[in-house]
Amino acid sequence: MLQKDQLTNEALKKHFHDNFELAQFAINVARYLIKSGHEVDVPYLLKEIQRNPTLYTPENLALLDKADQEEDADSRPLS
């Protein structure tokens, strides 16, 4: 049987109270992905959130961002 493509964000609604919470969450995830060098479009972003809804909690985003900053600091050449 072929898997039906998701044309709406119905699969994401179970993780969020309302569309505003989903939008704010998606914005934060997009900021993180862009800062880490990924190209982001809306379909990719929604699939990524749907695939890993618990990975991108505000706490995890802060930890991922801190780790990226530390990695950037370690990779800078010493003057």
pLDDT tens for 15-58 read 778 888 888 888 888 888 888 888 889 888 888 888 887 777 77
pLDDT band at 78 (very low <50, low <70, confident <90, very high): low
The pLDDT value recorded for residue 6 is: 56
* Helix (H), strand (E) at residue 25: helix 19-35
Per DSSP, 23 falls in state H
Per-residue model confidence (pLDDT) at position 74: 72
Does the reported pTM lie above 0.75? no
Label residues 56-66 b or e (16+ Cβ within 10 Å = b): beeeebeebee
